[in-house]
Amino acid sequence: MTDHVTLTHAGKSYRLPLVIGSQGELAIFANTGSCKSAITFLDGEKGILRYRGIPVEQLAERSTFKETAYLLINGELPTQKALTRFSVLLNDHSLVHEDMKIFYQSFPRSSHPMGILSAMVNALRSFYPELQRLEEEIDITVTRLLSKVRTMAAMSYKISRGHTVVYPRPDLTYCANFLNMMFDSPVRPYEIDADVVKALNVFLILHADHEQNCSTAAVRVVGSARVNLYAAISAGIAALWGPLHGGANQAVIETLDAIARHGNLRELVARARDRSDPFRLPGFGHRIYRTYDPRARIMKRMAHVLLEKLAISDPLLDVARELEEIALKDDYFIDHHLYPNVDFYSGIVLRAIGIPTNMFTVMFAIGRLPGWIAQWKESMEDPEWRLCRPRQLYTGPQERPYIPIEERS
């Protein structure tokens, strides 16, 4: 049974669904805040996204991923001295224990990179000292994760292709180092392009945090049991793996590729309009945004800049443009707030950089890592910390007796 209650506060009234369970208990279901946080502000009605108060548009244009990561984790933009120390720590902890290669090589070649990454991040706890509540140890563990996850992602790609692992270089920036570890080889040295490095920085910045989404909530819930940071992040990676969350950017590319091959764009749009059809167009709409995703505008510009610079003629971008044009003029899409989200163009950017499709969600995880760390750190430092233990609304049968098996019909 579902009814409603009206809550009045400061002259405004809110109508909330009231649900009654099978035992007569009551529960009010609404968008209830799960925690207090000073990290990210998101306004879905106005299309606003800010990290620690700074608009994401400014960070994407003027900052780097490394600097943005520092901002999220520490609360303020770094001074030059602090950024230099942060860079030194990232460089010092960028290598992965050689024994971890054996683990990588033991996974079946068909294993998804996200499953491997989640397992290997959890395994880091066995190779490196347990996190202590000392500030220095926290700094080391945080930078260890930020640096090693990048190295581990590139390592998994190289091993999956049967290629020699490329080690990080101390003379390269965070993003340039990752690209070099991914694509450099003894027979074809990788040429670092400043525009490609910028595109990767922007991609990672736009994915760095997004309030209490599925994976961030998973990090907080698991972390509330006071597990180590590696275990909490591993849980976040597992949650991000889902096609309704981090896997959406891969789904967008697969859909665009299918449209390019079969020419069924109009058919898919018609299916997306049909309420009786469970099909949903990947890359359109968002649980929070009721207007254009601010990250999508930035990623769209970056896609055009990158493809023009690299002189790439990508039929998937042509399909994406046509699909967006149809959706932005279609009454159904407009009425249901089905605007392109960040996943719609991020796949195009990753594809232009050369990232294989099955690594797209891993890229998302690298970007979201500082947000997860910041959220975990904030919850650990909360003086009102409590173990996360939500309640439920019971809808099962009322009390009934146990019936012996010989008497059951």
pLDDT of residue 130: 61
CA-to-CA distance for 356 and 352, rounded, in angstroms? 10
Give the DSSP H/E element, type plus range, for residue 7: strand 2-9
Q: Are 224 and 387 in contact (CB under 8 A)?
A: yes
CB 183 within 8 A of CB 354: yes
Question: How confident is the model at residue 135, as a pLDDT?
Answer: 65
Instruction: Please answer whether residues 6 and 13 qualify as being in contact, where contact means their C-beta atoms are separated by less than 8 angstroms.
Output: yes
- For the record, the structure tokens of 144 come out as 């260890």
Q: How far is CA 16 from CA 23, 28, 32, in A?
A: 21, 7, 11
Q: Which residues are catalytically annotated?
A: 286, 343
Give CA separation, 188 vs 17, 50, 168, 297, 357, in Å.
61, 40, 17, 35, 22
Per the structure block, which two tokens stand in for 119?
Answer: 């397992």
H helix intervals, 50-130: 56-62, 65-74, 80-92, 100-106, 113-127
Angle (nearest 5°) at CA 369 between 367 and 373: 150
> 407 CB contacts (<8 Å, ≥6 apart)?
none
Q: Give the pLDDT confidence score for residue 208 in this predicted structure.
A: 98
Q: What is the pLDDT along the chain (409 residues), one digit of tens a residue?
A: 457 878 888 888 888 777 777 777 666 665 667 888 999 999 988 999 999 999 999 999 999 999 999 999 999 999 999 999 999 999 999 999 888 888 888 888 888 889 999 999 999 988 886 655 556 677 888 999 999 999 999 998 998 888 889 999 999 999 999 999 999 999 999 999 999 999 999 999 999 999 999 999 999 999 999 998 999 999 999 999 988 888 888 888 899 999 999 888 989 899 988 889 988 888 888 888 888 889 999 999 998 899 888 888 878 878 988 888 888 888 888 888 888 888 888 988 999 999 999 999 999 999 999 999 999 999 999 998 899 988 888 889 999 999 999 999 8
Q: Which residues pair with 13 in a beta bridge?
A: 8
Half-sphere exposure of 408 (CA within 13 A, CB side): 5
Contact (CB, 8 A) for 37 and 335: no
Q: What is the pLDDT of residue 59?
A: 98
Residue 244: C-alpha distances to residues 149, 215, 251, 280, 361 (Å): 23, 11, 9, 11, 11
What local confidence, expressed as pLDDT, does residue 131 receive?
59
What is the residue type of 29?
A: F
Task: Identify the sign of the CA torsion 102, 103, 108, 111.
Answer: negative
Please tell me the distance from the alpha carbon of residue 266 to that of residue 214, in angstroms, as a whole number: 32
Distance CA 50, CA 41 (A): 5
Would you state the pLDDT for residue 162? 85
Sheet holding 54-55, edge to edge: 40-43, 48-51, 54-55
Domains of the chain: 60-383 (1.10.580.10)
According to DSSP, residue 23 is labeled T
Are the C-beta atoms of 41 and 30 separated by less than 8 Å? no
